[in-house]
Amino acid sequence: MNHDQLKLFKDYSAIAIFAVVISLLAGFTSDSYAQQKDQSVAVITGITTNEDGQFANVSITGTRQLTYTSVKQYSPLGILFYLPETLLGSIETSYKPDSGIISEINISEMAETGHTARILVLLKKDVPYQVADENSGFKISFAKPKEPSVSEKASVTSGTVDEKKDEKKNAGIIQEDLKPIADAPKIATRIGSVDLEKSGNGIVIAVKSDGMINDFKSFTLESTPKLPARIVFDIINIKSSFKKEQIVPANTEWVSNVRHYSSADKVRIVLDTKNKYLKAFSAEPVLNGLLINVGPAEIKTSEISSQPPVRQKEPLAPTKKIAEQPVSNVLKKKSVLSDSKPAWVNKIDFSSEESGKSTITIGTTKPVEYNIIKASERLLHLRLNNTNIPVKQRRPLITTRFNSAVDRITPILKPVKKNTSLVAIELREAVPYVVEQSDTLLTVHFEASSVLPKPEKEAALPDWKEVLTSVAAEPVETETKEPVTKQVAEAKKNLLEPGKRYTGEKIALDFFDTDIKNVFRILREVSGKNFAIDKSVTGKVTLSMEKPVPWDQVLDLVLKMNQLGMVYEGDIIRISPVESIQKESQLKQAEFELFQKIRGQERVMEELVVEYIPISYANAKTEILQHLTPLLTMIEDPLTKQFKNRGSVGVDERQNIVIITDIAEVIKRAKEIVKKLDRVTPQVIIEARIVEASTNFSREIGTTWGSGIGVQPTSLIAGTYGVVSSIDDRVGVGPQRGLNDIGGTYGVNSSINFPTSSDKASIGFNFGRIAGTPLLLNAKLQAMEAQGDGKIVSAPKIVTLDNKEATIKQGLRYPYNKLDTSGNTTTVFEDVDLELKVKPHVTPD
């Protein structure tokens, strides 16, 4: 084998080895990527269906635990599941099981939103369902409707007669002077009385009025060391025949007392009970009032039904005349309105369980169409079509203190679209949820959250909830608000800064004759600030703000209305009367003036100290002295009443030393200033190339620009005679992740080439990094002399200081003849220079 063949063999061998290495690296990269992908994304491996005596089941399995969100839809009827970070395995995309409940199961993958799987379970009939996790997936169970047996159907007629008798017995307390049923029942405007009657294993509270009570809301309060457990009903837009609080003793196992009283826009009914009965109650509107049942029987209802424990509807006793008609007809006349008219939201309730699960219940005057949208990771929009929300129901429900996934519920009436309402649900974290609709009730069930609620005291209610319901334990007394005088109005106007901007969270409030301290407690909960209220702060507040406003604006308004002021003391907002704050301000001003006077006397009597401060880099006289002179201590001349310097400062120019005479405090400040100013001034090297060429040749000049940017260290490849030929192609290419400002790797290399026709002498420039960026720039000039000679005259360098101008000059003295004033010819020399002036500036970065 000759030399050429041996060389060719070595070249082919090197190429083959290189190809093998590249293949191995590509294989390793592909395997690593596949492993990472398998670990980060779940895969659905199977979908099976089966039925038993009670349920029709759909089981979905995956490679790991599946995360899902379910939404119930009505057109077409079915349950829709979204599974983020999930792919479809080798499974069919459509299933049609032989079932009387499940119609079809469709599976698809939403590529436009990343790795998200979509499962739609279409139903033949609307039945309750539940979702439970099992192994590496979850199971959906649909309850089969229970059909009555022949004997049960036969006993319906005889059972109806007995049930009517029981209904008449239970409703005996409200069987007086009832009016016939009209096409639309009369809405109650005034409450006449509240009566009680035991009914088997429970108690019935009958709220009598001049019409039907259907606009009400309820909530429960657990017992505290001072107060019993309470069930509270707020009946909206109604009056009471009584001016003061009325107490009706019950003395039963379920309810001890019933209290009711009225305010400006509602009547509140409070049932004093026990903690174990807080979920064992229900309410039912009737023609002449409202029936409230409390007793253990309601617990069974809440366990069977999928609705929350509050608002569970039992077949409560209607009136004697109502009993003559079928119950379904009565309910239809009572709740279903004309399709052309919008529905109204009459209740928005929230309940949570000890396990962390929670439920939002929304009641309407008739069944409505809805649509729930996931606006963001932790925000849901529940849109109610052809539905209005009354002003009293537009108050946000803050649930941050509950063991629940829900943080806030905000009802909104959308102004852009008529008769369309929106309920914004803010979540603590994204959790699975289920939406169910039953007649006029719409419920949203949320699973438990792993994020704990805000800490609160043991056996105590959240402060904001105590404030909103504090009137449940105290009688309400009404007083007339005195008109505000012009002087008071002007004083309150001065409390706010002109043009002040409010940035607090927006809230909607509605207070009537509320104690001002309770208002501050609500603002404290909303704002998260610490409040300290002076003992002399008293008064009542009446506000009605339908449109949400910032909480800090509400605070300023309340302060103005009650001639109060606030002072920030660290992280605490202290509330006091304006007069008290003004006196404190005057006292502080007097104390400050006294302190200044005493301090001035001490400075006059304090001993003077002489200090020699050497200056290393700056000029003591021109650069340091002007900054130290204003620091000198001033004293007042008792004769001329003018101020003069007690201390002095001078400079020893020979040694570049500052000599200062003053008190110790001034000398300490002077040293700090000198330390910051007396620093090394950055130096800059300026490099240039001066090229000389004769005029008797044709020449061609080319320019090559190159740039690079990225986190890879920038390197240059040198050419002939040390001239930069190109920038390393690896500039900006990984793998150093996280070395840039945006947390990733990036790289850009570019060039602009205008070369000469032949390779001749080159001059290279390296500009380095530009303006503190990782951008590297260089330039290479190519000069070609086709004829004649040329040469590089010099490559001068000069060092200058930051912000100091530097000059590079090269030239000659050119002689020429000139006539003087006498007419004689003289030779005069003129400088012909090639000059470069640069004033560099070094930035701190």
Identify any residues that bridge with 315 across adjacent strands, giving them in sequence order. Answer: none
The label of the residue with tokens 């320019």 reads 703
Predicted pLDDT of residue 127 = 84
Distance in angstroms (rounded) separating the CA atoms of residues 628 and 749: 51
Side-chain-side CA neighbours of 57 within 13 Å: the count stands at: 14
Is the bond into 76 cis (omega within 30 degrees of 0)? yes
Distance in angstroms (rounded) separating the CA atoms of residues 279 and 298: 8
| CA distance readout (Å), 752 to 255, 688, 749, 758, 778 | 90, 22, 11, 17, 11
Say whether pLDDT at 690 is over 90: no
Say whether pLDDT at 422 is over 80: yes
Strand order in the sheet with 246-249: 216-221, 229-236, 266-273, 257-262, 246-249
The predicted model gives 3-26 an average pLDDT of 51
Architecture in CATH of 337-454: Sandwich (2.60)
Say whether pLDDT at 96 is over 70: yes
pLDDT, tens digit, 9 for 90 and up, residues 135-146: 788 889 888 876
pLDDT band at residue 839, thresholds of 50, 70 and 90?
Answer: very high
- Provide the H-helix boundaries in 652-772: 664-677
Among 59-63, 317-321, 605-609, 696-700, top mean pLDDT goes to 59-63
Say whether pLDDT at 187 is over 80: yes
Q: Is the model more confident about 90 or about 720? A: 90
pLDDT band at residue 842, thresholds of 50, 70 and 90?
Answer: confident
Among 170-179, 251-260, 301-310, 463-472, the range scoring the smallest mean pLDDT is 301-310
Predicted pLDDT of residue 521 = 86
pLDDT, tens digit, 9 for 90 and up, residues 433-448: 888 888 888 899 998 8
Tokens matching residue 526: 């909303």
Distance in angstroms (rounded) separating the CA atoms of residues 441 and 298: 18
Domains 41-143 and 337-454 share a fold: yes
The predicted model gives 647-651 an average pLDDT of 92
Closest by Cα among 430, 431, 428, 447 to 357: 447
Say whether pLDDT at 671 is over 90: yes
Q: Where are the beta strands (DSSP E) in 210-342?
A: 216-221, 229-236, 239-240, 246-249, 257-262, 266-273, 281-286, 289-294
Say whether pLDDT at 559 is over 60: yes
Among 52-66, 309-323, 781-795, the range scoring the smallest mean pLDDT is 309-323
Say whether pLDDT at 212 is over 60: yes
| CA distance readout (Å), 219 to 230, 311, 767 | 9, 10, 74
Say whether pLDDT at 40 is over 80: no
On whether the CB atoms of residues 279 and 231 are closer than 8 A, the answer is no
Q: Provide the CATH number for the domain formed by 164-335 in this structure.
A: 2.60.40.3500
Q: Is the model more confident about 415 or about 376? A: 376
Architecture in CATH of 606-680: 2-Layer Sandwich (3.30)
Distance in angstroms (rounded) separating the CA atoms of residues 681 and 623: 13
On whether the CB atoms of residues 59 and 48 are closer than 8 A, the answer is yes
For a pLDDT cut of 90, what percent of the chain falls above it?
Answer: 11
The predicted model gives 569-577 an average pLDDT of 89
Predicted pLDDT of residue 388 = 87
Distance in angstroms (rounded) separating the CA atoms of residues 513 and 726: 81
Distance in angstroms (rounded) separating the CA atoms of residues 218 and 234: 6
Distance in angstroms (rounded) separating the CA atoms of residues 417 and 419: 7
On whether the CB atoms of residues 260 and 245 are closer than 8 A, the answer is yes
The predicted model gives 320-330 an average pLDDT of 33
Among 205-209, 405-409, 451-455, the range scoring the smallest mean pLDDT is 451-455
Mean pLDDT of the chain: 73
Among 36-45, 134-143, 458-467, 743-752, top mean pLDDT goes to 134-143
Residue 471: DSSP 8-state: G
Q: Is the model more confident about 74 or about 502? A: 502
Distance in angstroms (rounded) separating the CA atoms of residues 100 and 273: 45
Domain ranges for the chain: 1-39, 41-143, 164-335, 337-454, 606-680, 684-838
Among 37-46, 299-308, 812-821, the range scoring the smallest mean pLDDT is 299-308
CATH of 41-143, one of 3.30.2390.10, 3.40.50.10790, 3.40.190.10, 2.60.40.3500: 2.60.40.3500
Distance in angstroms (rounded) separating the CA atoms of residues 338 and 658: 94
Among 4-8, 391-395, 837-841, the range scoring the smallest mean pLDDT is 4-8
Distance in angstroms (rounded) separating the CA atoms of residues 447 and 405: 7
Say whether pLDDT at 734 is over 60: no
CA dihedral sign, ordered 59, 60, 64, 70? negative
Predicted pLDDT of residue 321 = 33
For a pLDDT cut of 70, what percent of the chain falls above it?
Answer: 66
Distance in angstroms (rounded) separating the CA atoms of residues 304 and 126: 17
Say whether pLDDT at 107 is over 60: yes
Closest by Cα among 112, 95, 113 to 104: 95
Say whether pLDDT at 476 is over 50: no
| CA distance readout (Å), 433 to 374, 413, 419, 524 | 11, 24, 26, 31
Q: Is the model more confident about 418 or about 2? A: 418
